[in-house]
Amino acid sequence: MASRLTRAPRRPAALALTMGDPAGIGPEIVLKTLADPRAVRGRALVVVGDRACFTAASRQLRIPFRLRDWHPELPLPPRGAVFCQASPPGRHAVPRPGRPGAASGRLAADAVVAAAALCNGGLTLGMVTAPINKDALRRAGVPYLGHTEWLAHLSGSRAHAMLFAGRQLKVVLATIHVPLREVPRRLTATGILEVTRLAHAALVRDFGVRRPRIAVAGVNPHAGESGLLGDEDRSVVLPAVRRARALGLDAHGPLPGDTVFRRALEGAFDLVVAMYHDQALAAVKTLEGFRAVNVTLGLPWIRTSVDHGTADDIAGRGIASAEGMRAALDLAAEMAGRR
Amino acid sequence: MASRLTRAPRRPAALALTMGDPAGIGPEIVLKTLADPRAVRGRALVVVGDRACFTAASRQLRIPFRLRDWHPELPLPPRGAVFCQASPPGRHAVPRPGRPGAASGRLAADAVVAAAALCNGGLTLGMVTAPINKDALRRAGVPYLGHTEWLAHLSGSRAHAMLFAGRQLKVVLATIHVPLREVPRRLTATGILEVTRLAHAALVRDFGVRRPRIAVAGVNPHAGESGLLGDEDRSVVLPAVRRARALGLDAHGPLPGDTVFRRALEGAFDLVVAMYHDQALAAVKTLEGFRAVNVTLGLPWIRTSVDHGTADDIAGRGIASAEGMRAALDLAAEMAGRR
């Protein structure tokens, strides 16, 4: 047993990078990121995926792929990138770019599951994920609509939330992939409070904000305009804000969803709790483009992701931008540095 | 009867400016706009409101108010600003800044009604409105939640729509002040088509776009993700887009509401048809702040407005920004120049 005097050596702050769906731009943006010395220097990275897919992409796009193999039984080098094979090798064809399906979904899923195992085992502090294809995942038999809920399951996490971190704006979502007509009835004061608490904890621990000022957006136009435009702002959002304040959180709202993001980016708040998908993401993506990073809160480890899809229409053409992947890696490394 | 040979002299392109609620920042931002030579030079403006309110604001804020009185029976000077008294003079107290109520609502309403009469009579080509207070209007007995529906009534217009024009982004709304839970059932293919047609016509006539490229946003996250996240995108929005295309409009959609605004501002579209209030305005206001101008489509004349409220908390303090009012006036003048 380690005594308090013989302090254990600091764990290497390694991060896993997943391949994404190999029929999309995942392998390309991972290769481009690895080719950027600023992205790799001083960091310990484990690229997780299928070597045949990376090798094929490397040849097609003429971007080198020279990582040496690493297995979880081996010691992890303190710096530089290594490769971890996630799928049983040699038994599958390499999916063609732009042709997602059960095969590409299976390879993408293997990478996510292997990266989660590395994180659960403490070998990596977190993972940065390349985009997957929901339909291909479904064909491969994965019963999740996306990474977020799936990783919560793989890590045994009870509560989780989706945060978007741009350069100017941080937003967390109270509901995610919910049809608009169901949003009002899916929102509960307890759910909004939980997301607010997760966001508060993340701001303090991962983003270095000492006393986060949190804005909670309303559900209805003008946050319900005193009930004239819907009741949920008074009956659901306001009680959540009151409970958050009773817990000592510096939470404010419900604030009108059209202006609250502007107020945050002008400095009034450190983060906005948005009530639903497009309210949050129309603001974030209009302002930040693909620079915004998707962060999963509530997991026992770090998880960041690009804020875009597999872009099958341009897969294999070498024109995908790795800006989002780079931003996701940089943010994960920044968060890891604070843990 | 004017023959085609004896062409009538060109109507002066005069614009009415309304006072707004005198308990808010309306008089202040009108005075500040009039004090800016670039806002007035070369233009014919009729400021419509209550002289006692303007005089009081002028004294308090030390911004001069020197407009001479004008009545609709008099000829309108071809250039410069004049003042038109909208309320019966001398029978009321001047509302105190920050204290809206039935009295301030009545004075604000008088200005709107008088300006609409000038526009209906062809004396002005349109109006630029300062902000009003919904609650004060209601106390004054006006049965409208805002300018848009009210002006449609005053001008006898059947169809109307709310457009926001920023420097980078133009957005029109398929629904406006509707509780979120009612949005899906309020949307109809016919309604979306009508708004799309009004927006197309305005782009051609008022904004000088020859062949407008119009994006139609989806209702649900990811525009419904092939029905996984709600059916309205297929059952309501898509038929509207198809009908618009059948009419020769270059309309596209339903496109995901989180990325469609970004695509528009990067140049792919001239305008976005948004499905509901916060989808549109979270994008516009986050990007443009208060520079965006609110334009009412479907009226027989031009109407632009500031994109903010009465700001009662700072009324009378002299610190309100007239940037939005100036932008609304500049846009109305630009539109008038094309008519």
Helix then strand count (H, E) for chain A reads 13, 11
Interatomic CA distance for residues A244 and B33, integer angstroms: 43
Task: Name which of B180, B219, B282 is nearest A283 (Cβ-Cβ).
Answer: B282
Return the residue matching tokens 């995926």. Answer: A49
Q: Who among B145, B177, B180 is closest to A184 (CB)?
A: B180
Q: Average pLDDT of chain A? A: 93
Does the structure show a pLDDT above 60 at A77? Answer: yes
Binned at pLDDT 50, 70 and 90, residue A10 comes out as low
- State the pLDDT at residue A9: 47
Pairing outcome for strands B161-165 and B293-297: antiparallel
For residue A16, name the pLDDT band (cuts at 50, 70, 90).
very high
Side-chain-side CA neighbours of residue A225 (13 Å) = 16
Q: Give the pLDDT confidence score for residue A167 in this predicted structure.
A: 92
In A, which residues are within 8 Å of B282 by CB distance? 257-258, 261, 278-280, 282-283, 286
Q: Is the pLDDT of residue B2 over 90?
A: no
Does residue A263 belong to the interface with chain B, where contact is any CB pair within 8 Å?
no
Chain B residues with CB inside 8 Å of A259's CB? 281, 285
DSSP string, A53-82: HHHHHHHHHT----PPB--TTSPPPSSEEE
Asked if pLDDT for residue A279 goes beyond 70, the answer is: yes
Of B178, B185, B220, the CB nearest to A179: B220
Contact at CB, A229 and B179, closer than 8 angstroms: yes
What local confidence, expressed as pLDDT, does residue A89 receive?
78
Q: Which ipTM was obtained for this model?
A: 0.89
- Would an 8 Å CB–CB cutoff place B167 in contact with chain A? no
Sort out which chain B residues have CB atoms less than 8 A from A134's CB and list them. 225, 228
Q: Do A285 and B278 touch (CB under 8 A)?
A: no
B221's tokens: 């996250």
The confidence score (pLDDT) of residue A215 equals: 98
**Least Cα separation, residue B215 to chain A (angstroms):** 14
CB-CB contact of B107 with B137 (8 Å): no
| Residue B287 touches partner A, C-beta closer than 8 Å | yes
Reported as a single tens digit per residue, the pLDDT across B231-288 is: 999 999 999 999 999 999 999 999 999 999 999 999 999 999 999 999 999 999 999 9
- Enter the pTM of the model: 0.90
Mean pLDDT of A37-46: 93
Answer yes or no: do A258 and B282 touch at CB < 8 A: yes
CB contacts, 8 Å: B230 with chain A: 179-182
Nearest-CA residue of chain A relative to B261?
Answer: A286
Chain A interface includes B277 (CB < 8 A): yes
pLDDT tens string B126-180 = 999 999 998 999 999 999 878 998 999 999 998 999 999 999 999 999 999 899 9
Residues in chain B within 8 Å Cβ distance of A145: 228
Integer Cα distance of A201 and A298 in angstroms: 9
Tens-place pLDDT, residues A194-242: 999 999 999 999 999 999 999 999 999 999 988 889 999 999 999 999 9
B-chain residue closest to A145, CA distance: B228
**Cα dihedral across residues A14, A157, A281, B220: positive or negative:** positive
Q: Identify the band that residue A13 occupies on the pLDDT scale cut at 50, 70 and 90.
A: confident
d(CA B41, CA A151): 62
Cβ of residue B224 closer than 8 Å to a chain A Cβ: yes
The pLDDT value given to residue B3: 45
CA distance A124 to A44: 9
Q: pLDDT at position A91, please? A: 72
Q: In chain B, which residues have their Cβ closer than 8 Å to the Cβ of A178?
A: 221, 229
Give the mutation candidate from A220, A279, A286 for the B interface (greatest B CB count, under 10 A). Answer: A286
Is residue B309 within 8 angstroms of chain A, CB to CB? no
The band of B339, judged by pLDDT with boundaries at 50, 70 and 90, is confident
Residues B176, A146: Cα–Cα separation, whole Å? 32
Q: Which of residues 19-58 of A touch B (CB under 8 A)?
A: none
Task: Give the closest of B183, B222, B283 to A286, CB-based.
Answer: B283
Look at A115-119, A205-209, A321-325, B2-6 and tell me which has the smallest mean pLDDT. Answer: B2-6
A222 touches B: beta carbon within 8 Å: yes
Closest residue in B to A229 (Cα) is B179
B13 pLDDT band, cuts 50/70/90, is: confident
Q: How far is CA B292 from the centre of its chain?
A: 10
Interface contact A282-B279, CB threshold 8 A: yes
Q: Is the pLDDT of residue A250 over 90?
A: yes
Contact assessment for residue B20 and residue B130, using Cβ atoms and an 8 Å cutoff: yes
pLDDT for the residue A1: 43
pLDDT of residue A146: 84
The CA–CA distances, whole Å, from B296 to A37, A232, B171, B176 equal 53, 29, 12, 12
Q: What is the pLDDT of residues B51-65, one digit of tens each?
A: 999 999 999 999 999
Q: Which of residues 101-160 of B touch A (CB under 8 A)?
A: 134, 145
- Cβ within 8 Å, pair B178-A145: no
By Cβ distance, the residue of B222, B231, B283 closest to A282 is B283
Whether residue A180 and residue B222 make contact (CB cut-off 8 A), yes or no, is no
Q: What is the pLDDT of residues B286-319, one digit of tens each?
A: 999 888 999 999 999 999 999 888 999 999 999 9
Q: What is the pLDDT of residues B65-122, one digit of tens each?
A: 999 999 999 999 989 999 999 998 777 889 999 999 999 999 999 999 999 999 999 9
